[in-house]
Amino acid sequence: MALKTAKEYIDSLRARKLNLYLFGELVENPVDNPIIRPSTNAVAMTYKLAHEPETEELATTKSMLTGEKVNRFNSLFKSPDDMVKKIKLLRRLGQRTSCCFQRCVGMDGINAVFSTTYDIDQKCGTEYHQRFRKWLTYVQREDLCIQGAMTDTKGQRGVAPSQQADPDQFVHIVERRNDGIVIRGAKANQTGSVNSHEMLVMPTLNLREGDEDYAVACALPMDTEGITLIYGRQSCDLRKLEEGDIDVGNFNFGAHETLTILDNVFVPWDRVFMCGEREFAITLVERFAGYHRQSYGGCKPGISDVLIGAVASVADYTGVRKASHVRDKIAEMIHLSESLHGEGLACAYEGTKTEAGNYQPDLLLANVCKHNVTRFPYEIVRLAQDIAGGILVTTPSEKDLRHPVLGKYIDKYLRAVPDVPTEDRLRMIALLHSMTFGLTALNYQAESMHGAGSPMAQRIMIERLTDMDAKQKLARSIAGIDKREDVLA
Amino acid sequence: MALKTAKEYIDSLRARKLNLYLFGELVENPVDNPIIRPSTNAVAMTYKLAHEPETEELATTKSMLTGEKVNRFNSLFKSPDDMVKKIKLLRRLGQRTSCCFQRCVGMDGINAVFSTTYDIDQKCGTEYHQRFRKWLTYVQREDLCIQGAMTDTKGQRGVAPSQQADPDQFVHIVERRNDGIVIRGAKANQTGSVNSHEMLVMPTLNLREGDEDYAVACALPMDTEGITLIYGRQSCDLRKLEEGDIDVGNFNFGAHETLTILDNVFVPWDRVFMCGEREFAITLVERFAGYHRQSYGGCKPGISDVLIGAVASVADYTGVRKASHVRDKIAEMIHLSESLHGEGLACAYEGTKTEAGNYQPDLLLANVCKHNVTRFPYEIVRLAQDIAGGILVTTPSEKDLRHPVLGKYIDKYLRAVPDVPTEDRLRMIALLHSMTFGLTALNYQAESMHGAGSPMAQRIMIERLTDMDAKQKLARSIAGIDKREDVLA
Amino acid sequence: MALKTAKEYIDSLRARKLNLYLFGELVENPVDNPIIRPSTNAVAMTYKLAHEPETEELATTKSMLTGEKVNRFNSLFKSPDDMVKKIKLLRRLGQRTSCCFQRCVGMDGINAVFSTTYDIDQKCGTEYHQRFRKWLTYVQREDLCIQGAMTDTKGQRGVAPSQQADPDQFVHIVERRNDGIVIRGAKANQTGSVNSHEMLVMPTLNLREGDEDYAVACALPMDTEGITLIYGRQSCDLRKLEEGDIDVGNFNFGAHETLTILDNVFVPWDRVFMCGEREFAITLVERFAGYHRQSYGGCKPGISDVLIGAVASVADYTGVRKASHVRDKIAEMIHLSESLHGEGLACAYEGTKTEAGNYQPDLLLANVCKHNVTRFPYEIVRLAQDIAGGILVTTPSEKDLRHPVLGKYIDKYLRAVPDVPTEDRLRMIALLHSMTFGLTALNYQAESMHGAGSPMAQRIMIERLTDMDAKQKLARSIAGIDKREDVLA
Amino acid sequence: MALKTAKEYIDSLRARKLNLYLFGELVENPVDNPIIRPSTNAVAMTYKLAHEPETEELATTKSMLTGEKVNRFNSLFKSPDDMVKKIKLLRRLGQRTSCCFQRCVGMDGINAVFSTTYDIDQKCGTEYHQRFRKWLTYVQREDLCIQGAMTDTKGQRGVAPSQQADPDQFVHIVERRNDGIVIRGAKANQTGSVNSHEMLVMPTLNLREGDEDYAVACALPMDTEGITLIYGRQSCDLRKLEEGDIDVGNFNFGAHETLTILDNVFVPWDRVFMCGEREFAITLVERFAGYHRQSYGGCKPGISDVLIGAVASVADYTGVRKASHVRDKIAEMIHLSESLHGEGLACAYEGTKTEAGNYQPDLLLANVCKHNVTRFPYEIVRLAQDIAGGILVTTPSEKDLRHPVLGKYIDKYLRAVPDVPTEDRLRMIALLHSMTFGLTALNYQAESMHGAGSPMAQRIMIERLTDMDAKQKLARSIAGIDKREDVLA
């Protein structure tokens, strides 16, 4: 089956009957909803690039399962090179959409579930891996969009799932039947769920004895009975409903998250990939985290490219671009962004093969990559606000600009370099506003902070992945506590 | 005349006939406009504190002109202690409103114009100072709210006012008449103009030969003919129009900026405080900057107090407050905020008397204070986003919460610590969202960056205010290039 | 009795019979030892400034005990102004010596013991305070140099003094006699002990039940029987023994620390100021810490002045001073240094009176000051190394410079701006080397880190000194969890 | 010919007759000089690893010229993988020596000269490339140690070589003869020159018209007539002459730099690789810089491993290792160090082939790598000083420890965790001191700052290597200034 075009992808979404709510109301037609559509467009770009000659090699690959050409987002990483191409693809998509394009969780989840099911089967004699291969083959052939569903609502932090006051704070198995299982709970902060055909449910943390029912991984079509999606608010979301296209900043693209309720949802056995093997929950989580922490070394530098281009443009428009301090700040923005990209590439190149045959990135470097992502974008935003000037947060509305009298005032007084149209300047500032405060600001800030795990999660992994004994041995030898090395020996 | 209560202040605004536009439409009644009113409330708080026993000493003082009790925002600083109290007042107001309360520019402008007019008169034999004293006495007695109007639209940066392609990019005198002057131009990023009775126009930068017409300072009632105000957009501004009070984050308070057009506005001579004395423009600007750079050491720590309190609360609500990394981050937020406050106090205490008799802060320390303000709040925001968690940017809407079915889901699944009501958690997150992305985020970020001058302006002053020769001499003596000090001599 | 001159001070040291070891050998004459003398000179400067007209007001004050003029280092702070002058004095001394001048621990200890003894007496009916006043009157009149001795060797961290494997890891009372007490233990990192007449022993941390014997404060002449001083190594210490005066960087001044052993030392009762009142140990420690954390806002900016002057000079000498990035880095160095100074001043101005009548700085701001001191000097050093260039760590020796053949090569090839003598450049680089790697580097780095408590100590205090309930209440009100404020009420 | 062992390498150095001065005196036997020998040992380690089974694959490779096995330091990079192995080798060497091992400049210079001579020949019809291949074949077969000699003394910065007051401030051709050329000038900050067999002279900056004589590259045996080496001072250099092995910190290893005078040195034509082709100077410099900026992503993380191991050890020794803030700081140190390593790897993997056939790293990422190296090690040092405690700069000397009476005091009082010998603690602290202030501190700080170019050099390259037009186009499209992308098209 041929890879879907962007249009085919969008049309394919119409067939679903989602139980989706936005601002307290059921959304009958999410695809054409002006609040939602930009996020759908961003996902559509992942389909579009598979058909563009220049990006085809990045956006598609040969399936490890079938040898057929598939969209990279549904693929298994057959080599470090596949992971490198992933990073370069994500950067391109960040450049093209200037926001989150929502498919990385699915891609990264697929790869983590693939190897983990293999390991479970090896140890437990189960058959999850074959089931998963079959499901994934279907996904690849139908070219579906898969949403990775990991983050539980978590209740009181630090309390185990089975010890929570409300046992539903983590998704869990409430019934095991002959034909499948029934699960209940909710997944929070679910990126791109409305734009997906299916969701891949995974556990969210290490499970201990007594938490067996929380060890569940499975696949669900988004419109399965019992699923309710509640669309999250975003900064400036209502601007999408306004006339005009300036104030929204990024008119075409965006993202979204939902709170996804799973209220006694039935899953047939052929879609169940983990069911009670609690000791593998952390394996799955850590592998997923490794893949996903790498991802941020792709998308965020891509978004940075747009942000840096916008900053350079507003500096051009006011005539300060050549000022040494402006050049210096822009160089710093580039430096920080490329640092992230380099680290995303490094952990890919240093990747290793799993028992199941797909590859995973170097985990230490992947954590290091993501950890810098929790810092550098914030500094880039700060520098962007510096160069943008105070007007970033005080622009008149597009309606003012279109007003016969006010429009003339605005055109006259907000013109800086004479031959740059005032509207161009306002558009560029609106884009910067949307990226630093508005609709897509969360993609560059809060998502950089918490996506793929909050900073503390990386610190814990960095500590754990380090062989401190080896380092201490080096120090003891140099210090002469252990016998010093004889260089002539 | 008694100091106005908050209510009297708000009522007094109704008498004005502003030419104000919002989203392309004339606003007949700004006081009761739901977009605008929160900003009026924030200013009203400056009147309210003058009547509260606990804050009266901070919010009022004895007039240097009349000996009468006046609102501190309309006062001249008679001592370092007056400037210390200013900083403490601003912190209180930041705590009470969690946003910009808009009156500092006026207060700081009054003090700068006071001493500068004195100096002009001394040198030029003019009589600006007496005029200004008279006007200020009126302002104090009527307890008016004065908006400081400094920032010109500036056109192409680096080009002198008189050399701009459009000569109106800086406000200037277009006609000198027997009864007064006519001015034209526009002031950008005008904080609180809609909530003011009068504006105090000042030049915005150093003026060179040929720029004489740009050397103009004067006072204008906000509804003077020829003035048009265009209300600036703010992140999430439309949330103020929604039902409910959660999603807006800070329901009561806010701020605003306008683009203020001055289209051939007439100013009678008794309201003109500078008219062509171009060499005093920079004096006025630097003095104003000194006062205003200090101010940020008051308001931002006040806003930080709310932000830190909100962060601690959401940490309480999820049960992570005692985690060592959370405590550490909160301690860091406090540290950064108190650093700013300490510097705001230091430059006040180290203040010196002007020739005219009022006091100004130590300029080097005031610049240092503001320069840190362009950095630390951003790091505080980053830490706040860290602790807040991903839900900061994915909360369901208040309408979802009020929905009979969805509401139950939300109450169940977004409850963390069992005995904390979910709505409380959502409210606190909404407040954090408004402070980091939404309606008041600009007050803590972009305004910290650009208010009272962008970072480069402080660096220039820091360099200029440093006696580098003295430092080099110290180094030469220690190094033995100059004769070394004999400690026994 | 008149205040000692520098020379009188140095001569007065000769009368002591110290039991001092340096490099494993007993030092008979510390005053004229070339390794030690620079540190004595630095202390002598504190005497010298008391006689210089320009600094007399800073360096002396009226005794709170006698009304007589005394050296500020032996004085009680009678007002916030006294603490402000202290900070300004310390800055001057940092400028003049470019190193630690060693007397702050004593001054800060005196003030902390003064108020703590008062409080003990109030509660316990003891008479420590009168004893202390008497001793201090003697110290003031004799114009002695007092070393504050607080830091114990501590043994295993986290274990209480009385629970240590070796009970002597904290100084403690081993015998209570009719005529006094006997103490044992050791004080580590003792700054300036060799240059002092007496040491003021204080406990170092909070004491719990069972630790009573560790609650001891007293005064001891430095040559009391049982005291052994072991002089600590410093970077490049041997350069002081070389011919010439260039390579050492700072020829005249330096500092030192000793490990001070107290091996069954007898203290007569009239010199005992705490003896078993364990609950006051933490009071004394925290008050001392408040004073001493403030101190760093004086001395470090003073040393920074020299460092910045040196950096500007080497930039002059190579012709890069006007480069925008060099100017920018120097402006940053100034900014960071003045930030520290501002905070040192702020906590002084905001000081409050103790029950005993002397003043202490605002504790929160004092901790904030010191906490920045654990960061900013490191960044200043980094910037200094940037501007200094690679030659900072590769200069030929002074002996090479004096060599008939090599000297010509060096003069020729290390000359940058033609009219600056090569030797001047080498001297300035040597100074920078000594401040960043060499003899005085520790004063600007490790001492900034650990003096007056390591960073974690400040974070703990910052957390403790914050009224978080008040902040959370503010947030709850703004968020509408508590009833929102009615601005018109 | 077989690869040299460490011993054979050291013996081979004895054959040279260097004109080397140290502290103003001629050094007859540098190999056995205690000041110099540790640096020789560090280079020897590069020979030793070629013979260790575990490191052989990193330390050797197949020659691109002859197919023979050669030491990697003398090799051309035949693939990205060769550059990856380089980085991993450098990390190993940093771990083993804890200092600069001095051979990277040679290796990186060889690769830069190789491709540049190829390009010159292509354009100018010269035969430098064949000469260079011949020389390099000789170097590989003899397994020589080559010192890269680039940094000129530079005179007044910003003035072209031919415009300097002293024309010798940059090495230049003073005579062209039939049999070769004569050059004059000096190279500053020459790492490892005393331990090398030959030096590879290269120009140091972009050359303009009139600077032709400064465009010179050639190879010289270190003992060529006319060469004088002046050994640079290092922090604590005299400790190498002391008895004992503790206080020096790193007893076995170190590095050095010399000021290398070239006073009318004759170079035969077969060793001349550039002679007047001034437009290729910048090509050579930038290629070299690319290679060398990458190198720091290897050696510095290697040194960091030792530093982190030492810090963890001293934390063990005092019992604070498990404290959350200590763990957090160590995690941060690891994070920063691995960030550098990841970037070193990334630019290697992303390398590209030159026309001449060897590979060079991705230049943008190489600059990004080095630019972080100018920052992160300083923060790592700051954290190390934090954890080390004040004792870092106050330890008694080894002589005190060996003293019969003092030694017992020291053993007793500086013991922290009871079962850790005090001497172990002192040794580890001495190592930390040497890495942060002492003998090898410059390798981790000043060298990180200036080696391979000062920070500004990287910023310039980062700016130049960025396609800003592409970024601005992205921004214009998203903002709707250029036609927005139609996602369905």
Sign of CA pseudo-dihedral B341, B188, B19, A428: negative
Q: Is the model's pTM score more than 0.80?
A: yes
Both tokens of C471, joined, read: 């902040």
Question: Which one of B193, B242, B394 would you mutate to disrupt binding with A, by most A Cβ within 10 Å of its Cβ?
Answer: B394
Chain B positions touching D328 (Cβ under 8 A) are: 324-325, 328
Name the 3-class secondary structure at A127. Answer: coil
Alpha carbon B75 to its chain centroid, in Å, reads 16
- What whole-number distance in Å separates Cα of residue B313 and Cα of residue C470? 12
- What whole-number distance in Å separates Cα of residue A317 and Cα of residue A307? 15
Percentage of chain B with pLDDT > 70?
Answer: 100
Chain B positions touching D330 (Cβ under 8 A) are: none
Q: A450 to chain C, minimum CA–CA distance in Å?
A: 23
Sign of CA pseudo-dihedral D476, D481, D486, D489: negative
Give tens-digit pLDDT for C200-224: 999 999 999 999 999 999 999 999 9
- Residue C192: closest CA among C431, C447, C380: C447
Chain D interface residues (partner B, CB cutoff 8 A):
324-325, 328
Amino acid at C357: G
Both tokens of A487, joined, read: 């260089």
Chain B positions touching A375 (Cβ under 8 A) are: 382
Percentage of chain D with pLDDT > 70?
Answer: 100
- What whole-number distance in Å separates Cα of residue A231 and Cα of residue C269? 76
- Residue A267: closest CA among A326, A324, A309, A227: A227
Chain D positions touching B325 (Cβ under 8 A) are: 324, 328
Our answer to whether residue D124 is catalytic in this structure is no
Give tens-digit pLDDT for C192-201: 999 999 999 9
Chain B positions touching D329 (Cβ under 8 A) are: none
Amino acid at D246: I
Give tens-digit pLDDT for B367-424: 999 999 999 999 999 999 999 999 999 999 999 999 999 999 999 999 999 999 999 9
User: Which positions of chain A have pLDDT values less than 70?
Assistant: 1
B418 and A374: CB-CB below 8 Å?
Answer: no
**Maximal CA-CA distance, chain C:** 88
Our answer to whether residue C66 is catalytic in this structure is no
**pLDDT greater than 90 at residue C2:** no
Q: Exposed, middle or buried, D147 (CB in 10 Å: 0-12/13-18/19+)?
A: buried
**DSSP assignment of B5-62, as one string?**
PHHHHHHHHTT----EEETTEE-S-GGG-TTTHHHHHHHHHHHHGGGSTTTHHHHEEE
The residues of A that are catalytic are 100, 104, 191, 257, 292, 296, 299, 447
Both tokens of C290, joined, read: 């408040």
Chain A positions touching D253 (Cβ under 8 A) are: 478
- pLDDT score of D1: 62
Return the residue of D nearest to A472 by Cα.
D309
The catalytic residue among B145, B218, B299, B369 is B299
The catalytic residue among C296, C317, C359, C444 is C296
Sign of CA pseudo-dihedral C120, C126, C132, C134: positive
Residue C307: C-alpha distances to residues A487, C94, C321, C383, C435 (Å): 40, 10, 15, 11, 7
Our answer to whether residue B447 is catalytic in this structure is yes
- What whole-number distance in Å separates Cα of residue C103 and Cα of residue C42? 10
ipTM reported for the complex, 2 dp? 0.97
Residue A464: C-alpha distances to residues A112, A244, A468, D335 (Å): 20, 52, 9, 12
D partners (3+ CB pairs within 8 A) are A, B, C
Return the residue of B nearest to A321 by Cα.
B157
Q: D383 to chain C, minimum CA–CA distance in Å?
A: 10
- What whole-number distance in Å separates Cα of residue B476 and Cα of residue C250? 11
Helical ranges in A98-189 per DSSP H: 104-124, 128-142
The catalytic residue among B9, B296, B359, B444 is B296
- pLDDT score of C489: 85
Give tens-digit pLDDT for B102-121: 999 999 999 999 999 999 99
Per-residue pLDDT of chain B (489 residues; tens, 9 = 90+): 689 999 999 999 999 999 999 999 999 999 999 999 999 999 999 999 999 999 999 999 999 999 999 999 999 999 999 999 999 999 999 999 999 999 999 999 999 999 999 999 999 999 999 999 999 999 999 999 999 999 999 999 999 999 999 999 999 999 999 999 999 999 999 999 999 999 999 999 999 999 999 999 999 999 999 999 999 999 999 999 999 999 999 999 999 999 999 999 999 999 999 999 999 999 999 999 999 999 999 999 999 999 999 999 999 999 999 999 999 999 999 999 999 999 999 999 999 999 999 999 999 999 999 999 999 999 999 999 999 999 999 999 999 999 999 999 999 999 999 999 999 999 999 999 999 999 999 999 999 999 999 999 999 999 999 999 999 999 999 999 999 999 988
- Three-state secondary structure readout of B129-189: HHHHHHHHHHHHHHCCCEEEECCECCCCCCCCHHHCCCHHHCCEEEEECCCEEEEEEEEEE
The catalytic residue among D99, D145, D299, D347 is D299
Bin C452: left if φ > 0, else alpha if -120 < ψ < 50, else beta: left
Alpha carbon A313 to its chain centroid, in Å, reads 28
B487 → closest Cβ in C45, C95, C466: C45
Both tokens of C253, joined, read: 């001044």
- pLDDT score of A489: 85
**pLDDT greater than 90 at residue C430:** yes
User: Which positions of chain D have pLDDT values less than 50?
Assistant: none
Give tens-digit pLDDT for D99-123: 999 999 999 999 999 999 999 999 9
DSSP lists the bridge partners of residue B229 as B20, B260
- pLDDT score of B2: 87
Return the residue of B nearest to A165 by Cα.
B418
Q: C266 to chain A, minimum CA–CA distance in Å?
A: 39
Amino acid at A279: E
